[in-house]
């Protein structure tokens, strides 16, 4: 089970540590960097351009996951119920594995949710979007306080993007989604544990997870497009936890600008997460 820290944060000390360490990193990058750092109750520790609207890439899959679990908590779905997948010729490409497994015709909602987060599977994501509907996900976002987030297209729908129908969010919304999940009464304990479990099992570790000090623990969801690198999640170090989101675009190095993996963008997000983790570790040592 993913550990949530119970020790209180020194907000001022953490803010000063992160501000000081971030200054040279942000000065050295051409990217636009949005950051939101909160405690587990949603209190803002640090915000930098946190309301800036940006294409969400795959971190939009967190609201889809939480909208599904909210609906399951209300009895509209069961995570054990099966859902048929489209024929292989109608499956989205990109990240994930189901596009390459045409013999897999049906999976449970729990299995689809796990694949959507752990492997960022686009076939699983589109199946859940089809089940829930765009309106239901967007209405959940509004109820949860995600004022900038909007799901407007399925994964890998290039025609929709060209027509201006993209998926959007902000760093502030990304942390708000996680804080909603942790709020007392938002989800029954088993569904919250399921969400934390799949987020902690995300296999994309080239962003926040790349340079964390031991014994840091991370439950997050990354997203990447050419020129864009995002990550958002919960970071726990020595019984202290924070919710962190970094959304960054405008990178000019070839690997970040032209590909979906690595580059200076992923490295920057790893450095920022390490800065925050070391700030949490310093608080533990001070007490």
Position 284 scores a pLDDT of: 74
Q: What is the pTM of this model?
A: 0.96
CA 265 to chain centre: 16
Position 14 scores a pLDDT of: 96
Looking at the predicted structure, is the pLDDT value of residue 61 above 90?
yes
Q: How far apart are CA 287 and CA 284, in angstroms?
A: 5
Looking at the predicted structure, is the pLDDT value of residue 220 above 90?
yes
Q: Which CATH architecture has domain 11-286?
A: 3-Layer(aba) Sandwich (3.40)
Position 92 scores a pLDDT of: 86
CA 96 to chain centre: 16
Give the pLDDT mean for 143-161.
90
- DSSP structure string for 100-132: G-TT--EEEHHHHHHHHHHS--HHHHHHHHHHH
Highest mean pLDDT among 83-92, 125-134, 278-287: 125-134
Percent of the chain with pLDDT over 90: 87
Which residues pair with residue 221 across a beta bridge?
232
Cβ-based neighbours of 213, under 8 Å, separated by 6 or more: 237, 274, 277, 278, 281
User: Regarding predicted confidence, which is higher, 285 or 129?
Assistant: 129
**Would the CA dihedral through 284, 44, 230, 266 be positive or negative?**
negative
Position 187 scores a pLDDT of: 97
């Amino acid at each position: 089970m993913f550990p949530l820290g119970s020790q209180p944060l020194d907000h001022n000390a953490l803010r000063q540590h992160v501000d000081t360490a971030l200054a040279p990193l942000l000065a050295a990058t051409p990217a636009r960097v949005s950051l939101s750092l909160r405690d587990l109750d949603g209190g803002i520790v640090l915000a930098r351009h946190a309301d800036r609207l940006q294409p969400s890439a795959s971190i939009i899959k967190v609201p889809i996951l939480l909208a599904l679990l909210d609906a399951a908590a209300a009895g509209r779905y069961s995570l054990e119920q099966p859902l048929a997948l489209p024929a292989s010729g109608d499956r989205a490409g990109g990240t994930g594995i189901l596009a390459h497994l045409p013999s897999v015709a049906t999976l449970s909602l729990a299995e689809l949710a796990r694949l959507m987060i752990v492997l960022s599977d686009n076939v699983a994501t589109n199946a859940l979007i089809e089940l829930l509907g765009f309106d239901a996900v967007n209405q959940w976002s509004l109820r949860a306080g995600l004022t900038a987030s909007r799901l407007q297209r399925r994964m890998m729908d290039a025609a929709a993007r060209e027509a201006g129908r993209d998926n959007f969010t902000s760093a502030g919304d990304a942390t708000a989604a996680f804080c909603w999940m942790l709020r007392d009464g938002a989800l029954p304990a088993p569904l919250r544990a399921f969400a934390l479990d799949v987020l902690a099992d995300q296999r994309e570790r080239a962003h926040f997870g790349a340079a964390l000090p031991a014994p840091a623990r991370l439950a997050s969801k990354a997203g990447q497009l050419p020129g864009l690198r995002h990550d958002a999640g919960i970071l726990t170090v020595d019984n202290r936890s924070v919710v962190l989101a970094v959304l960054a675009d405008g990178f000019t190095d070839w690997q970040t600008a032209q590909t979906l993996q690595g580059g200076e963008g992923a490295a920057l997000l790893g450095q920022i997460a390490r800065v925050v983790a070391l700030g949490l570790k310093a608080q533990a040592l001070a007490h």
